[in-house]
Amino acid sequence: MTLLYLASGSPRRRELLTQIGVPFSTVIAAIDETPLSNESPVAYVERLACEKARAGREQLLMSPPASAFCVLGADTTVVLNERILGKPVDEAEALAMLMALSGREHEVLTAIAILDEGRCETRVVRSSVRFRNISKQEASLYWASGEPRDKAGGYAVQGLAAVFVSGLNGSYSAVVGLPVCETAELLGHFGIPCWQNLTVR
């Protein structure tokens, strides 16, 4: 069977792949996540997912696995009025992001890319998230928790920030970091089934 490598250090993505019964190994390959000039949010997340998968494959080819393999790359970004909200660099930026999202609806884009020796297939999943009004005190307390530091848009929907979410339309797992429905579909195209750990009685 084709081996799968996840080009991500995200514990959320590891948990979601494990949840659907897909065995995998991880490979970490850092890339430059700076948006290109005039790059749309959709093009941005799709490019980063592809670049992560390619960087992971290049790293693996230095000491190739014994059998066929493919690499899964993913990227998630928060978009408000067509503006990409990346990972906050400091408290001031995190608080500014949270206050901008307060009481409003925003979009979360997650792209996945699966790459093998001859092809790369991608999907981009859009979800809408609405926040209730957030006070400045709440935003400061949330920053102090440490959770927003490495999260796109400065929040984690599966964590403490769940209390801010008044509505979500789309894929919850995509907002977390990996759309499991679309991921399962793409994995099937590469001969990797889900539920491999399922015992049939």
Residues noted as catalytic: 75
Buried b (16+ CB within 10 A) or exposed e, 157-180: beeebeebeeeeebbebbbbbbbb
Distance CA 78, CA 82 (A): 9
76-86 in b/e burial notation, b at 16+ Cβ within 10 A? bbbbbeeebbb
Give the tokens for residue 127: 């979800």
